[in-house]
Amino acid sequence: MSNSNSGSALPPTRTAYIALGSNLGDRIGWIEKACNEMDARGIRVRRTSSLWETEPMYVLDQDRFVNGACEVETTLEPLALLDALQDIERALGRAKAVDKGPRNIDLDILLYENLAVNHARLTIPHIGIREREFVLRPLAELVPDKPIDPSRPWRVIADYLAALPPSPTPLTTMTPLSPHHPPIQALNPARKTHVMAILNITPDSFSDGGDLALAPTARLAETIGALLDAGATMIDIGGQSTAPGNPEVPLAEELARVLPAIRLIRTLPRFAARPVLISVDTYRARVAEAAVAAGADIVNDVSGGALDPAMLPTVARLGATICLMHMRGTPATMNALAVYPAETGGLIGGIGRELVARVAAAEAAGIRRWRVVLDPGLGFAKLGPQNVRVLRGLEELRAWPGLAGMPWLVGSSRKSFIGKVTGVPTPRERIWGTAATVAAAVQGGADVVRVHDVREMAQVVAMADAIWRYGGR
């Protein structure tokens, strides 16, 4: 029914695409502040591209840029939108001394619906789109099939990107972990693989249950110190077992298990000189929020944000990085759901499509794309040989449409499929089989491997990195 009072009609909502850039200070931090400012001013950031590190153009004597793009909903007309973006730049302290020179934040309107604007202050489509890989590549993640020029609808953004000459310095995505650690560069062939140490504060984990459930503070600190000395770069702290058949623990119990361990790492002087990346292994939003408040950097959710509807909005509000794992059902039902029909893409296709959906859910909740890590979920809704096929297909998953350029975590350590292949029934004795899977994960492109036996797997990772990474050095 139409509104008879035309004076109360709301202005129409439009879609625009904004370029994001920074090459001073905390480059990713400035871009995130700008996106938050847009949201706060009613310019709703619906989706973001990955963030890409790029060499400077035009003015070459300056630091590398971090560039990206976002899709926004706005009721502002183009010039009013430009005014709002420039006001955000000023509020964030931008001082532009040299045209195309260093700046802490740069916001440009690339596209606005299908409009063409030619104004003394504003040209849409942005005049630099066609020649700039650092603009085309983020746009191609968001709207690859959108024409730049409405009068030439047969030539779309993906076509312009494909026509560019190869970059002398290939671009890489950037996934921030914490303000004190470099981001993951998932497309950098010389990157090192992170070793994530498993720290289960549970009595019933399938492999190491009970080891630390009631450990005194001194023993817990010694264990953490030993993990770091052995080569861990991340500690993944869990207070609930996700093994099939294990009961769900009460919220208060999970909090009581994980929070003291996080606080111990963040407050003990012996760890102050070596900042530790902390991940919390939980599918509960309230645990994630309390853990981040206590000092955790990463939320590692085995359900991909599906088991607790509050998880994704909570992580978006916290601004933390989240690992979305592929799983079907719940830990109690997942093994009955390990069917991947060929007509729907088979095993790799099923994982790829379902992770694309989880990424879309994360973005809809407000999580920036550059804050997402993926996990194929070995042992979760995958039985026996299926896990081997996932390891074999990791490179295909990394290139899956909608997931390309994102970082991956692989957790194969001591799992039952290794025992079945090697004939080793005891999880603690599956070190050699685990080593093979860790090497395969590195070869397939994993950025993080999650392991129990840190000293041994850190050596495997060091050797695997030397073979398959470091740009051939």
Active site members:
415, 450
Task: Compute the distance between CA of residue 280 and CA of residue 244 in angstroms, rounded to an integer.
Answer: 20
Query: Which residue's structure tokens are 């999970």?
Result: 254
| Dihedral Cα 418, 423, 424, 427, nearest 10 deg | 30
* Residue 269 CA: distances (Å) to CA of 181, 196, 215, 266: 19, 22, 20, 8
Task: Compute the distance between CA of residue 262 and CA of residue 188 in angstroms, rounded to an integer.
Answer: 31
Task: Compute the distance between CA of residue 158 and CA of residue 168 in angstroms, rounded to an integer.
Answer: 20
